[in-house]
Structure 1
Amino acid sequence: MMRWLACRIPPPLLALLCAWGMALAARRWPQWPLSLPEGVSLVVSGGLLLLAVWLEGSAVWAFVRRRTTLSPLQPQRSSQLVVSGFYRFSRNPMYLGMLCLLLAWGMWLGQAVALAGPLLWGLWIDRLQIVPEERALRARFGDAYAAYCQRVRRWL
């Protein structure tokens, strides 16, 4: 497949490109609006935005506290295995936060076609970012990481 792309594109940049594509798609195909009662998409997008900020902030803070790398392009440089905070429930709260941001953006755009963006981004991240990261972390932390993977799901 496209393994040569694994861990090559920073996920925040990929999310930004995806958000741009979502806006273009929503403008190009406006005939498929989300059929929600008035104000619901605004409330849902606001809630998702708050959830995303909380997930991202707490995940980054956990890495900063443990003094390990935040670089998703070099997972092999991790110095600590972070398993506290939201990492007790998800192995990827940063990516979960970015997914929530994209979902919030899609809801705010109000077009069903825009919701394809988070789905495509999630598939890309799952296959071309998370799987290679997990291989690197398993090589780096061995049994401790394997046990963590048994306890905690990849997404939720």
Structure 2
Amino acid sequence: MKIKIPPPLVALIFAGTCYLLAKYLPVGEFEFFGREALMYVMFGIGVVIVLIALFQFFKKKTTTNPLNPEKASSLVVSGIFKYTRNPIYLALLLFLIAFALKLGNAFNTVILAGFVYYMNHFQIRHEEEALTKLFGKEYKLYLKATRRWF
């Protein structure tokens, strides 16, 4: 199955769902000391992760296009990729967490879980299959050594 929705657009769709839920669900609002600070921390960590990951892709001169993982020219397994196989998706999740914190509705955690489910089943699985075909045993060893998210 070829993925047709770019992951940043998927994240925007889930963010829109979070917004609608927070706006129209009459329950679930929350507030706690440090919520706004935590929101900025989550967003900031996401920005740092995305920049590091993109730098490593460009350094290895390989594709950053998640819609065509079969076009990867090299396997990136060092740096941030030593700790997470999907740092850009992790960053998107951190952005969604930051947005959910801004909205302040506890039920948005369900939407965040839906994002992780969607990415695991409809994006990451496709990428892993393509990269296994492309890089074989080297990629299989990487799969065993490094966690999918963190």
TM-score tier, shorter chain, comes to over 0.9
Mean alpha-carbon deviation: is it higher for 52-61 or for 111-120? 111-120
Matching residue within 67, 91, 110 for 1:116: 110
CA RMSD in angstroms comes to 1.2
- The total of aligned residue pairs comes to 150
For 1:101 and 1:95, locate their aligned partners in 2 and report how far apart those are by CA, in whole Å.
Answer: 10
Map Cα deviations across residues 28-58 of structure 1 (whole Å, 9 max, x no partner).
0142112x424x2101111100110011111
Mean alpha-carbon deviation: is it higher for 121-130 or for 25-34? 25-34
On the 8 A contact 1:69/1:78 being kept in 2, the answer is: yes
**What residue is the counterpart of 1:44 in the other structure?**
38
For 2:109 and 2:35, locate their aligned partners in 1 and report how far apart those are by CA, in whole Å.
Answer: 12
Flag structure 2 segments of 5+ consecutive residues without an equivalent: none
Question: Which amino acid is the alignment partner of residue 72 of structure 2?
Answer: S
Map Cα deviations across residues 57-95 of structure 1 (whole Å, 9 max, x no partner).
111111111111111110001001001211000101110
* Superposition deviation, residue 114 in structure 1: 2.1
Matched, 1:72 2:66: yes
**What residue is the counterpart of 1:139 in the other structure?**
133
For 2:148 and 2:101, locate their aligned partners in 1 and report how far apart those are by CA, in whole Å.
Answer: 24
Flag structure 1 segments of 5+ consecutive residues without an equivalent: none
Matching residue within 62, 68, 89 for 2:56: 62
For 2:28 and 2:148, locate their aligned partners in 1 and report how far apart those are by CA, in whole Å.
Answer: 32
On the 8 A contact 1:45/1:103 being kept in 2, the answer is: yes
- What secondary structure sits across from 1:118 in the alignment? helix
**What residue is the counterpart of 1:154 in the other structure?**
148
Matched, 1:104 2:105: no
Question: Which amino acid is the alignment partner of residue 54 of structure 1?
Answer: V
* Superposition deviation, residue 150 in structure 1: 1.4
For 1:37 and 1:115, locate their aligned partners in 2 and report how far apart those are by CA, in whole Å.
Answer: 16
TM-score by length of 2: 0.95
Give percent identity, aligned residues only. Answer: 33
TM-score by length of 1: 0.92
